[in-house]
Amino acid sequence: MRVLDLIWYALGGLKDRRIRSALTILGIMIGVVLIISLMSNSQGLNITITESLSKLGVNNIFITPAVEGSVKLTDADVARLSKLPGVKVVSPFYFESIFFRAGSIERQVSLIALDPRIIRLVLPDIELLEGRDLLPNDVAVIGLGYKVAHPPDEPNKKVNLYSSITIELNSGGILERRSYMVGAIYQEFGSTPFLDVDNSILLSVEAAKNLFKTPNYPALVVVAESPDKVEPLMETIEDIYGSDVDIISPLTIVKHVRSIMDNFQVFLVIVASISLLVAGIGIINTMVMSVMERTREIGVLRALGFSQRHIALIFLTEATLIGVIGGVAGILLGIALSTSMGGIFQGMVPREITYRPLITPDLLITSFLFAVVVGLLSGLYPAIKAARMDPVQALRSE
């Protein structure tokens, strides 16, 4: 019996039982849709979170007092940490909310201050759009993030290079007001879970010290020589300061996020697999009922010279076709549903971070093969049952 004839005969068997076949195909399709939509969104979310955290530099370690006043970070701490093995450089780090004014533009923004010489170590993706990099002794020159210079809610307005801007800071109940010149405007950086560089102004450490008028630093950033030095350095810093400081590293957060997302993906695969398993049981039920209803047909086929192998292949092909059709339909619907499910997964990340579902050829091929294998395996028992049927008894049945 030729393969093409076998397929046409199997299609005819499915067509004769349209409603039952359609419901069984629907079960397979739902399983494939779940695998594609859930896995593509979780993988896209994983990559987005990892990339956004990596924007801060995987070699960075941020140190802040655990409770205000628990420890005072000073130049002595900078010198002490700089001598630790595996440390490339240490810088004071400021991150505060301030009020920004430039002409008719007024808004709340963030202030980021660190040693300008290491800005590309701490923020590897930052690039100049206009002007020049800040210098350590710049006390009256600042840099602007892209959205500060080009307010997205006011597209007709912008802050020009070399223009004068004013910032206001409430320090201990006293309103501090300072004017600066814009010496740098940076290209769009993209948001991260901790720092929104695009909505920030950047200062040198000296400018920040003059503004805040205190020898103490709100935070320090330690840049390790390589990623494998980060965790040992974090342990050393914890031994030095104990519970008096909080230690945060993008690298360790990335590892934790990847671990969580990997476990989450395993859970999603199990959920989708259970759906396919239920669909497989549906195929078994459909094919067993088909064997019982077609007992006389099987007897006629055997009388015409069809072997047990041919009978088994007919029913096995029908079950496999259910998997194939359900797999193809599931892939098409799964691709469409993946995008619409984005709103559910978007709620798992900060609002300013967007992501896209990651639909790869490997995911589509694996989902399709999974559906085909489920159909094939589910059809084994009914096919064997049909093949072993006594042809004489089959011809006598009504």
Phi, psi for residue 40 in degrees, rounded to 5: -65, -40
Same-domain status, 116 and 65? yes
Instruction: List, for residues 268-304, the tens digit of each pLDDT value.
Output: 778 777 777 777 787 777 777 766 666 666 667 667 7
Please give the pLDDT value at position 350. Answer: 53
Q: Does residue 246 lie in a domain region?
A: no
Residue that terminates a domain, selected from 208, 225, 242: 225
Question: Residue 110 and residue 245: Cα distance in Å, rounded?
Answer: 22
Mean predicted confidence (pLDDT) in 192-201:
83
Alpha-carbon gap, residue 275 to 280, rounded angstroms: 9
Residue 84 lies in a domain: yes
Residues 64 and 205 in one domain: yes
pLDDT for 77 equals 92
Q: Decide if pLDDT at 344 tops 70.
A: no
Query: Are 122 and 26 in a shared domain?
Result: no
Output the average pLDDT for the chain: 82
pLDDT of residue 173: 67
Q: Is 273 exposed, middle or buried (0-12, 13-18, 19+ CB in 10 A)?
A: middle
Q: Max Cα separation, the chain?
A: 102
Q: Calculate the alpha carbon distances from 58 to 124, 125, 225, 246, 289 in Å.
A: 9, 12, 10, 17, 60
Asked if 273 and 386 sit in the same domain, the reply is: yes
Give the model confidence (pLDDT) of 73-112 as tens digits: 999 999 999 999 999 999 999 998 899 999 888 899 999 9
Number of residues in the chain: 398
Quote the CA–CA distance of 41 and 358 in Å, as a whole number. 6
**What is residue 164's predicted lDDT score, i.e. its pLDDT?**
92
Could you tell me if 83 and 199 lie in one domain? yes
For residue 40, being part of any structural domain is answered with yes
Q: What is the reported pLDDT for 354?
A: 65
In this structure, the answer to whether residues 338 and 376 fall within a common structural domain is: yes
> So what's the pLDDT on residue 348?
53
270 with 209, same domain: the answer is: no
Contacts 24+ apart (CB under 8 A), 344-352: 344/41, 345/41, 345/42, 345/44, 345/45, 348/45, 349/45, 349/48, 349/49, 349/193, 350/191, 350/193, 352/191, 352/196
Token pair for 241: 């300061």
Q: What's the pTM?
A: 0.67
- Please tell me the total count of domains within the chain: 2
The answer to the question of residue 381 being in a domain is: yes
| pLDDT confidence band for 223 (50 / 70 / 90) | very high
**234 found inside a domain:** no
Residue 89 lies in a domain: yes
Whether 219 is covered by a domain: the verdict is: yes
Our measurement of the distance from residue 15's CA atom to the centroid of its chain's CA atoms, rounded to an integer in Å, reads 42
More confident residue, 397 or 212: 212
Share of the chain above pLDDT 90, in %: 26
Confirm whether 241 is domain-assigned.
no
Query: Do residues 265 and 379 both lie within one domain?
Result: yes
**Confidence at residue 382, expressed as pLDDT on a 0 to 100 scale:** 74
Distance between CA atoms of residues 395 and 398, nearest Å: 8
Q: Do 98 and 25 belong to one domain?
A: no
Same domain, 207 and 187: yes
Residue 368 predicted with pLDDT over 80:
yes
Sign of the alpha-carbon dihedral angle for 257, 259, 263, 268: positive
Instruction: Give me the domain span that covers residue 264.
Output: 3-54+255-396
Are residue 272 and residue 207 in the same domain, yes or no? no
Over residues 142-182, the pLDDT tens digits come to: 999 999 999 988 888 899 999 999 998 876 667 778 999 99
* 390 confidence band (pLDDT: 50, 70, 90): low
**Which residue, of 210, 225, 240, is where some domain finishes?**
225
Residue type, 328: V
Of residues 74 and 266, more confidence is placed in 74
Whole-number Å distance between alpha carbons of 301 and 314: 11
Q: What are phi and psi of 301, to 5 degrees?
A: -60, -40
Residue 315 CA to residue 330 CA, distance in Å, equals 22
β-pair type (105-113, 200-203): parallel
Q: DSSP readout, 46-80?
A: HHHHHHHHHTT-TTEEEEEESSTTS--B-HHHHHH
Average pLDDT (322-327) is: 87
- 67 lies in the same domain as 215: yes
